[in-house]
Structure 1
Amino acid sequence: MKVPSIYGSSAALLLCSLAFLAACGGSSEEDGRMLVDGIGQKETLNKVGSYDIEITGARNEVQISAGNTVRNLLVTGLHNTIRVNKTATVLHIDLTGTGNTVYIPLGLQAKITKSGSNNDVIEVE
């Protein structure tokens, strides 16, 4: 008598779910906050006035354009990369999850909160 495997169907469901997330990600604006979610998204954020950013998901690459003012940058999830252009301002960076990296201009003064593991804020010229 063959016992049905629940692991095969679970693995197939997981793969379908990941493919769905990758296809449905992107950026949007909600309540004055820019949201980037999904898997492997590449987004350039450029908005007039000060605003908040929330980045979730995995392996997303986000560029914050020159001259932007970000009040709060919240990065969760896995292995997201954020690059802040030289003349952009970020007041608070909050990193959670694992392996997230934010590259900021040398000398940028931001409050930094980190939890999770292997999250970094790196200054670049």
Structure 2
Amino acid sequence: MNGPTTTFCKAGEGRSGFEIAAVERHVSLLHELASDLTGKLVVCIFHEGQPGTITHHRVGDVDGTIAAIMAHANTPGANVYMPLCVMRADLPRGKKGTEADIVAVLALVAPTQARSVKCRSSQAM
């Protein structure tokens, strides 16, 4: 079964950047999934050979999240990382967070061979 694919980068003719429509759909979906939670979503932009930029966005701040990503659309070597989780609301500025900071996970992990995979549950989920 082939599902829909999303392309975040423009290709061809040496142009760099992100497809804004794809970014908008993805960011909107994450905010929608987190809509009943208190916390923040984190956007990390890493650059080849340079320190990264980390921004925090309260759940529901779709426009601010998109703006943070699109600010780097034409930055050479920029790679966007947006964890599929909600972090605690008091996560310190500039920190991407650790497992201990996670309020909820927005991703689906469905192992097909459950007997060989050790799973653990959390009240946060």
| Greater Cα radius of gyration, structure 1 or 2 | 1
Whether these two folds match at TM > 0.5 is no
For Structure 1 versus Structure 2, the TM-score category normalised by the shorter chain is under 0.3
Greater share of helix? 2
TM-score scaled by structure 1? 0.23
Name the structure, 1 or 2, with higher relative contact order (CA <8 Å, separation 6+). Answer: 2
TM-score scaled by structure 2? 0.23
